[in-house]
Chains A and B, each alone.
Chain A
């Protein structure tokens, strides 16, 4: 059979590439990071608190540093009863984890995890959807995630859930404002909303966001932690006063979905920080073309491009992993802020500082030009 007779034949390579990238990102987020981060968090807290940590689960006496715990956790969550309390709004109780996890999974679509490579006559872009409004898409999708928490809180018919949900809503909208204003400085410097363009400019080590927008980076980091509801901003799910906040009445896989959403958000936040402030997939002082010509001279153009792709993937995910560990370090180092302190930080400190950052960036850019 002649393959060129199939309708849409000319789109086949692009479709295959698209599916491969989506499968890759899903595998990384759902298959690798979501289960592994639970383990990493337990192990890191054990390390920091001088405990031994997750090390009991064993198969034939082999514990492999407690890694079986990721598997036992998954089996336990699947086998648990799905509990819905009396008086709960059943349809909404089912809808909430769905609304929480779907935005978390699709936000990664606009984040570039590598450059452009020419493989055997095919041009591969390592980004799922290269939108012109990449950053806006992430903000929009992250905004939907708030609904998940609020719906969960309302549907549970539980005082703790509702308190957690109200706190979540107010905290997340407050920090969304601050985050939006913080990012404006970055946009002014790079003149684009497209994440691939922002990443390409950072091929030059001294154009990295962390050097051009140091204040913006610190403010963005604080806002990102607050949006993710992590310590020190975890008052919406403060276990000592609200049990577990908005997901108190969730069990089994529905609980696991909130948990998964939170861990996938950490990966996404780390990836955004990498692309905006840490040079995306670029190695400091090594250009794409320079490394490519070196590789090409040794192993040929196609293999060279393939090798370069794997090197860039390793660099990008290495940076992401470093930032994840850094975020978890913050998680286990700081005490929890009070709610009034969180609101004060968001509205009275970060928001004015973000405005000053915009003005300062504008003045400096005008003077330099």
Chain B
């Protein structure tokens, strides 16, 4: 038997080759005409007045933090789910407690208003 990850490596090489080929093709083919007005970032025809690399809403950061917490919880549930039927009642109650803690966390961020968007 071949290593089961070998096809994935071949696949990554093929996909990367396709992607690099497309990038190289688009830089080589096609016209190259640049002048100052054209090179400006697209802003519906007016000159940009606001630098995009400035502050944005804190809510996005909060969502990113919540994602890390809840996604790790989800990953912990995966191995449990696979052997759930073998564990029976014991495993179910154990995981019930785990999900309860997760749910308390969700209720907390909900009540704190971290999921509200104005």
Residues of A within 8 A of B (CB): 11, 14-15, 18-19, 21-22, 26, 30, 78-82, 85-88, 94, 97-98, 101-102, 105-106, 109, 128-131, 135-136, 154, 156-163, 166, 169-170, 173-174, 176-177, 180-181, 184-185, 187-188, 191-193, 243, 248-249, 252-254, 256-257, 339-340, 343-344, 347-348, 351-352, 355, 358-359, 362, 365-366, 369
- In the assembled complex, the CB of B72 is this many whole angstroms from the nearest CB of chain A, namely 10
**Partner pick for B56 among A78, A94, A166, A243, CB 8 A cutoff:** A166
Q: A81-B30, A180-B75, A362-B95 are in contact. List 18 more A-B contacts (CB 8 A).
A: A11-B2, A18-B2, A22-B7, A26-B14, A81-B32, A81-B33, A82-B27, A85-B40, A101-B18, A101-B22, A109-B7, A158-B52, A169-B60, A174-B67, A192-B82, A243-B44, A256-B22, A343-B63
**Partner pick for B84 among A78, A163, A365, CB 8 A cutoff:** A365
- In the assembled complex, the CB of A30 is this many whole angstroms from the nearest CB of chain B, namely 7
Which chain B residue shows the least CB distance to A340? Answer: B117
Convert B12-30 into 0s and 1s, putting 1 for each residue whose CB lies closer than 8 angstroms to a CB of A: 1011101110110111011
**Contact between B30 and A362, CB atoms less than 8 A apart:** no
A164–B63 Cα distance when bound, in Å, is 16
- In the assembled complex, the CB of B57 is this many whole angstroms from the nearest CB of chain A, namely 8
A188–B31 Cα distance when bound, in Å, is 56
- Taking CB atoms, residues of chain B closer than 8 Å to A187 are 78, 81-82, 84
- In the assembled complex, the CB of B1 is this many whole angstroms from the nearest CB of chain A, namely 8
**Partner pick for A177 among B22, B43, B71, CB 8 A cutoff:** B71
A222–B27 Cα distance when bound, in Å, is 38
Query: A159-B50, A177-B71, A257-B22 in contact; A79/B30 too (CB < 8 A)?
Result: yes
- Taking CB atoms, residues of chain B closer than 8 Å to A21 are 7
Query: A159-B48, A248-B42 in contact; A358/B71 too (CB < 8 A)?
Result: no
Max chain A Cβ within 10 angstroms of own Cβ: one of B43, B84, B102, B106: B84
- In the assembled complex, the CB of B109 is this many whole angstroms from the nearest CB of chain A, namely 8
Residues of B within 8 A of A (CB): 1-2, 4-8, 10-12, 14-16, 18-20, 22-23, 25-27, 29-33, 36, 39-44, 48, 50, 52-53, 56-57, 59-60, 63-64, 66-67, 70-71, 74-75, 77-78, 81-86, 88-89, 92, 95-96, 99, 102-103, 106, 110, 115-118
**Partner pick for B20 among A98, A339, A358, CB 8 A cutoff:** A98
Which chain B residue shows the least CB distance to A131? Answer: B4
Q: How many pairs, one residue from A and one from B, have CB atoms within 8 Å of each other in the complex? A: 214
- Taking CB atoms, residues of chain A closer than 8 Å to B31 are 81
**Contact between B11 and A128, CB atoms less than 8 A apart:** yes
- Taking CB atoms, residues of chain A closer than 8 Å to B40 are 85-86
**Partner pick for A22 among B14, B29, B50, CB 8 A cutoff:** B14
- Taking CB atoms, residues of chain B closer than 8 Å to A102 are 12, 15-16, 19
Which chain B residue shows the least CB distance to A104? Answer: B15
- Taking CB atoms, residues of chain B closer than 8 Å to A252 are 26, 30
Enumerate 26 A-B pairs (CB-CB under 8 Å) in ascending A order: A22-B7, A101-B18, A102-B12, A106-B11, A128-B7, A131-B4, A156-B52, A158-B48, A162-B52, A163-B56, A169-B60, A170-B60, A173-B67, A181-B74, A184-B74, A184-B77, A184-B81, A188-B81, A191-B83, A340-B118, A347-B66, A348-B110, A351-B106, A355-B102, A355-B103, A358-B81
A185–B77 Cα distance when bound, in Å, is 10
- Taking CB atoms, residues of chain B closer than 8 Å to A347 are 66, 106, 110, 115
- Taking CB atoms, residues of chain B closer than 8 Å to A192 are 82
Max chain B Cβ within 10 angstroms of own Cβ: one of A80, A188, A254: A188
Max chain A Cβ within 10 angstroms of own Cβ: one of B15, B44, B88: B15
- In the assembled complex, the CB of B23 is this many whole angstroms from the nearest CB of chain A, namely 6
**Partner pick for B42 among A22, A158, A163, A173, CB 8 A cutoff:** A158
- Taking CB atoms, residues of chain A closer than 8 Å to B5 are 129, 131
Max chain A Cβ within 10 angstroms of own Cβ: one of B10, B16, B50, B52: B52
A106–B13 Cα distance when bound, in Å, is 10
**Contact between B52 and A176, CB atoms less than 8 A apart:** no
A21–B6 Cα distance when bound, in Å, is 13
Query: A102-B12, A177-B70 in contact; A169/B52 too (CB < 8 A)?
Result: no
- Taking CB atoms, residues of chain B closer than 8 Å to A191 are 82-86
